[in-house]
Structure 1
Amino acid sequence: MKLVEMKVNAFLDELASKSPAPGGGSVSALAGANGCSLILMVANLSVGKKKFKALSEDIQNDYMNNLEIFKSAKEEFTDLIDKDTEAFNALMDAFQLPKESPEEILTRQNEIDKATLGCIKVPLKVSALGLKCLRTVESLIVNSNKNTISDQGVSVLMFYSATLGAAMNVLINLPGLTDESLQKEFKKTIDDIIKETEVLKEKLLEEVMYLLK
């Protein structure tokens, strides 16, 4: 059964078990999906209301266009919940391959390299998508129902958790790459994501806390 098809309690029990997957990568993707769902709830409580209708047509159109980003991101985050666990399991399977002969050793190493790349690319997608959501959410905070500002704040925290949590999963797998140039490339990409994420998180939460006062 896919993780996303589990009931909440069953998923939490699986997460708490001695099995190393699902782990932080899948939880990071779930955090992103939760953030998108919260923002979509906020939109459902905002669009069509008197204050929303009072906004300019351009602002309303931008708002609706941004909602499409979150709808798409929700589906992608949800898909990545299972993909992260699948990537980890593929790496564990590669480590179990026989290594008695030179041919087996070479085959095993090639499979480990391929699986390690998967364990980097999946959380990198989560991290990049989380950053995209953080970049997009500000315009919704300004123009949404003010009674949902706490929900909007939690969505920011969810996107932050998704972005930084997935970044950590990229970093922990980088030493497993045998291609040093590729390792450096991924490291720069994730460092840039982390840097921008920290700035956006502080800015957005400051805005949310101001509106809550």
Structure 2
Amino acid sequence: MINSETISDYLARLASREPTPGGGAAAALHAAQGAALVAMVARYTTGTKYEQHAELVARIISSADGLVAQALRLADADQHAFQGVIDAYKLPAGTDDLKAERTASIQDALVQAANTPAQLILLAGAVVDLATELFEVANANVISDVAAAVDAARAAATTARVNIDINVVAIKDTEARSRLAEQTDGLEEKVVLAADSLVKRVRERILG
């Protein structure tokens, strides 16, 4: 599990000629880092100086910590889902019945593999939303990390979108494709626009 391995071990696996982990897991870790950075900035925005914002900051810390945990679970889920696709393609197809079972298994696995990045786009959007809330009150000494957080979330969202696309093109069930489209179409664009806007505001605040 990604959650329990060292960064070096994870990167070695990522760099290896193995199908998992891949871009989906990397995207989830982008989101996890983004959420962790939001939590860090919020924790630096505590104490007497920020007492009037204590309730907001406490909520952001709690939410961001929760998103870190969720993102790590999605990293592992992505590995599992993609491995499911690989395993489905390896199923025997020597008879008509086996071919039908293999096809059904592949289709089920592809839908699951698309569902995981769909959840990740929503999570990335939540990271950007928290960062946007925090920006106005954040400790100026760590304000650049707000931009770093949303940049990481942006990367998570755009990578997740590509991973949805590559699975959807192989899904034959039109109803399943429609559901995925309804859940995700345009979402990553909103995340990107919101992230770009906040990065611009952070830079303006830094540069005066």
TM-score normalized by the length of structure 1: 0.92
Q: Does 1:207 align with 2:201?
A: yes
CA contact (8 A) 1:141 1:149 kept: yes
Instruction: Name the CA distance, whole Å, in 1 between partners of 2:140 and 2:121.
Output: 28
Counterpart of 1:7 in structure 2 is 6
Question: What corresponds to 2:80 in structure 1?
Answer: 86
Matched letter for residue 19 of structure 1:
E
CA RMSD after TM alignment: 1.3
Partner of 1:29: 28
Match of 2:152 among 152, 158, 170: 158
Instruction: Please tell me whether residue 115 in structure 1 is matched to residue 71 in structure 2.
Output: no
Q: Unpaired runs of 5+ in structure 1?
A: none
Distance 2:206 2:166 in 1: 37
Q: 1:175 maps to what in 2?
A: 169
SS in 2 for 1:143: coil
Question: 1:63, 1:139 within 8 Å by CA — same for their partners in 2?
Answer: no
* Amino acid in the other structure paired with 1:163: A
* 2:3 aligned partner, one-letter code: V
**Shift, 1:159, TM fit:** 0.9
Displacement of 1:187: 2.5
Equivalent position amino acid for 2:144 in 1: S
Deviations 1:90-136 (A, max 9, x none): 11000000001111011111111111111011111111111122122
Q: Could you tell me whether the CA contact under 8 Å between 2:2 and 2:72 is conserved in 1?
A: no
Residue 130, structure 1, aligned to residue 124, structure 2: yes
Identity %: 24
The alpha-carbon deviation at position 181 of structure 1 amounts to: 2.9
CA-to-partner distance for each residue in 1:150-179, whole Å, 9 max, x for gaps? 111100111111111111111111012111
**How many residues are paired up?**
207
Determine the C-alpha separation between the residues in 2 that align with 1:196 and 1:96.
38
1:194 corresponds, among 182, 188, 194, to 188
Partners of 2:25 and 2:79 within 8 A in 1 = yes
CA contact (8 A) 1:99 1:105 kept: yes
State the shift of 1:188 in Å. Answer: 4.0
SS of 1:47 mapped into structure 2: coil
Are 1:64 and 2:58 an aligned pair?
A: yes
Q: Which amino acid aligns with 2:14?
A: L
Contact 1:171–1:187 at 8 Å: present in 2 too? no
Contact 1:90 1:115 in 2 (8 A): yes
Correspondence 1:16 to 2:23: no
**Counterpart AA for 2:115:** K
Which runs of 5 or more residues in structure 2 are unaligned? none
Cα pair 2:78 2:116 within 8 Å, conserved:
yes
Once the two structures are TM-superposed, the CA of residue 185 in structure 1 deviates from its matched residue by 3.1
Pairing 1:140–2:134 present: yes
